[in-house]
Copies of this chain bind each other. A is one copy, B any other.
Amino acid sequence: MLSDNLKKVYIFSGLDENELETLSKIVKQKTFNKGDIIFFDTEPYLGFYITVTGLVKIYKISKDGKEHILHLISPFNTFAEVPLFENFNEIFEDSFRYPANAMALEDETRVILIPGRQFRELLEKDTKICIKMVSGFAKRLRHMNHHIEELTLKDVTRRVAGYILKEQVNAKESDSISLNISKNDLAAYLGTIPETLSRTLKKLQDEEMITVDGKVIRICDMDKLKDFVV
C-alpha cells in the first residue's frame, strides 16, 4: 500500500492517516531496472524522490568521464530534496535542474516521486514536516562531513578498511559483510578506481585483517583492523 510506504519515510512519520491519504494522491510511483537512469543533472527539476525498494546511487561525472558517488539511497530514504529549499522562487522555472545524476543499482528498484510544487503547498500547512526536514538535513550534513573527512584525510587503504568496519557495525550481525553494490561502484564511492580497490582488498587480506570471497568480506582480525583505521 502506498501510504504504508510513505509512513516509513522519516520526514512523513508524524503525519496522520488523513494527511498520508492526501499525500499519496499527489505522488507518482515508478519502477526501474538495474542501470536505468532516474534523472540526469541536465534535466529540469520536478520534485524529490523516495526509494521504496532496491538501491539508488547519486553521482557526478567529471568532464573526462570520472565518476564519483555522493550517496547511496536505500529504501525509505529521500533524495533530491535539497533543491526544494534553496531557491523558493527559481524552483519552478524551467531552467532549474537536478544537482546530480541518479541511477537504479538493482532490478525492481521502486521509487516515489513527490512533485515539488504540491509538496511545497503541503509544507506550508504542516510545520511538523519542517522540523523533520531540518533534522533529516542535519543527518545528511553529518554524513557529508564524514565523507569529506574520509576523502581528504585518509589514504585509500584506510578508507576501504573504514568502509568495511562501518558496514559491519550497520549489519551488526556476524563478523562478515556482504557488499550490496558492485566493486566498481564501491570504488567510485570511496574516491578511487576498481583496480586500486582490488589491490587494496588484497593488501588487507595479506595483512590478515580480512578475507574476501566475491561480495562477502569477513573480518578475521577486528582489533588489527580497528587499530589500522583509527
Which residues of A are in contact with B by a Cβ distance under 8 Å?
60-63, 66, 68, 70, 82-86, 88, 99-100, 127, 130-131, 133-135, 137-142, 144-145, 147-149, 151-154, 191, 230
Contact = CB atoms under 8 A, between A and B. Distances in A.
Contact of A139 (B86, B133, B148): B86
> How many copies of this chain are found per oligomer?
2
Contact of A141 (B140, B154, B191): B140
Given A85-B134, A144-B145, A148-B151, 6 more contacts: A68-B149, A68-B152, A82-B138, A130-B134, A144-B144, A152-B191
A148 B145 contact: no
Contacts of A86: 135, 138-139, 142
Contacts of A147: 148
A184 to B, nearest CB: 15
